[in-house]
Amino acid sequence: MVSGPEALQAWWHAAVDPAVERAMTEMVQQAGEAIRTHRPVCLAGGNCCRFETFGHGLWLTGLEVAWSLRRIGGPPAPGPVEDSIRRGDCPFLRDGCCSVHAARPLGCRAFFCDGAGQGWQEELLERWHGRVRSLHESLGLPYRYDEWRRLLRDFALARIG
């Protein structure tokens, strides 16, 4: 698994590359269209952010995490990330809601806890992941696919942002 300050810096700087911005913005728009098409039910209960309790994980690439963190002004402090790992939830969950909703990663955008989401969610995520992996390759970026909070912790501890 790729890690270290060089990889984190490379992802952080690439997150503002025009090619990355175009691709990620397009995928966010596709997410909106898919959601409107499939009409999943969001109960706004925060289940999507309670990973261990609800039995799912949020896996992303380093570039995706950097892109989202750029939109919220940088990574959270290490303490809240460690606390969220212990609790089994997202460090951005506040009072049952996402506190970074507009900047949330693609994996969050496609996850709905209602049963109607089965099938189309995975297809979209696989397609997006392939596109993001291609971005890593085309830009010569290190590639790492890992759990959201582990990547957040790495960015927080490296004091990037």
Contact 104, 111 (CB under 8 A): no
Predicted local distance difference test score (pLDDT) of residue 33: 84
Q: Where are the domains of the chain?
A: 5-157
What's the average model confidence in pLDDT over 135-155?
Answer: 94
**101 pLDDT tier (thresholds 50, 70, 90):** confident
Which pLDDT tens digit goes with each residue over 20-45? 999 999 988 887 887 777 666 666 56
Q: Could you say which DSSP state residue 73 is in?
A: T
Predicted local distance difference test score (pLDDT) of residue 152: 94
Query: Is the full-model pTM beyond 0.85?
Result: yes
Looking only at the bridges linking them, the beta strands covering 93-94 and 59-61 are unpaired
Predicted local distance difference test score (pLDDT) of residue 1: 58
Distance CA 108, CA 58 (A): 7
Higher pLDDT, 70 or 108: 70
The two three-digit tokens of residue 44, written as one number:
């706004």
What percent of the chain shows pLDDT beyond 70? 86
